[in-house]
Amino acid sequence: MKPILIATGLALLPSYAMAQDAETMTGMMELWSGIWGHYAQMKATLMTALEHGAEDHMSPVGMFMAADWVVKGVMLSLAFASVVTWAIFAAKIVSLALRRQAIARQYRTLDRAGSLQGLSKRMAKGKGIVGRMARAALDEWDRSGASPSLHAGIKERTGSTLGRIEVGAARRMGAGTGILANIGSTAPFVGLFGTVWGIMNSFVSIAESNTTNLAVVAPGIAEALLATAIGLVAAIPAVIFYNLISRGLGGYKVMLGDAAALVERTLSRDLDLSPQEAPNLTLAAAAE
């Protein structure tokens, strides 16, 4: 159980680092505290189950202990893959939920403000994805000047910058999902390799014992088939989680596109209403 907690914590580190407000950070800290609070109880339960399982040679734990070292290696690698799958899923689901809430909140803030120059101090400094987009638009306006003849170029360059911010945010959020796809596609074959190896050993045992008694080879075959079962246990959640995260990422990209469109509309309105002066970013950032 401890590896999955460590893996989940490591996977959540980027989200901690990029949390842009106290509310988001508080939600992430409460989630992690809840996970850690159940660790001791789950660890004790798991250790008790392992101790009892090792005594029963026909239990999954007993079959693992009696398996060939190659089959054991396959089972351990698949168990690790399963831990990674659940850790990535937990981290991505939490991160997606928090980021979508943050974007929705910042979207409403910008929509109510109605002007890039009327943003709050936090967003004027580029806090959050929408804040970064708004800051990029203000920077481009400030660099280009206030001549009405430059407005079309300002809008075009701002749209290009916002597109890169949008793509970068989506790429960062999607990091790690490829691991789920790889686990989902390869885990069954890795488990099948362990099964084939174990069955080979069972046939060797038949040849060495000069008997076809099923009781002699059944434990070895059962140990081999356990590898395939673990492979499926790792692969099936990986495929399901990959599809769920992919749909979540699709919705996240739509929200990013809506935010970029709002920034462009707001910039266009500001340019039309204030054609003779460029924003003073130093004063805008210190307005509040």
Q: Give the phi and the psi of residue 212 in degrees, each rounded to 5.
A: -110, 20
Q: Which residue has the higher pLDDT, 211 or 41?
A: 211
Q: What confidence tens digit (pLDDT) does each residue in 21-69 have?
A: 555 555 555 555 555 555 455 555 545 544 554 454 566 666 766 667 8
Share of the chain above pLDDT 70, in %: 65
Domain of 100 in residue numbering reads as: 2-285
Residue-level pLDDT at 3: 47
pLDDT score for 197: 86
Query: pLDDT-derived band of residue 273, with 50, 70 and 90 as boundaries?
Result: confident
pLDDT at position 29 is: 56
Q: pLDDT tens digits for 94-133?
A: 999 999 998 998 888 888 888 877 665 666 566 788 888 8
Q: How many distinct structural domains can be found in the chain?
A: 1
pLDDT above 70 (res 77): yes
Say if residues 26 and 33 touch (Cβ distance below 8 Å): no
- Could you tell me which of 288, 259, 283 has the C-alpha nearest to residue 120? 288
Q: Which of 13-27, 150-164, 170-184, 248-262 has the lowest mean pLDDT?
A: 13-27
Is pLDDT at 282 greater than 80 in this prediction? no
Q: Tell me the C-alpha distance between 106 and 254, whole Å.
A: 15
pLDDT in tens, 138-173: 888 888 776 676 778 888 888 888 999 999 999 999
Give the pTM. Answer: 0.70
Mean pLDDT on 199-228: 75
Indicate if the pLDDT at residue 237 is higher than 90: yes
Of 85, 246, 243, 260, the C-alpha closest to 173 is 246
Average pLDDT over residues 166-194: 90
More confident residue, 188 or 50: 188
CA distance 232 to 211: 32
Q: What per-residue confidence (pLDDT) applies to 73? A: 86
What is the maximum alpha-carbon separation in the chain? 98
- Measured CA angle at 129 (ends 24, 133), to 5 deg: 150
Instruction: Supply the pLDDT for residue 5.
Output: 47
Type of residue at 86: W
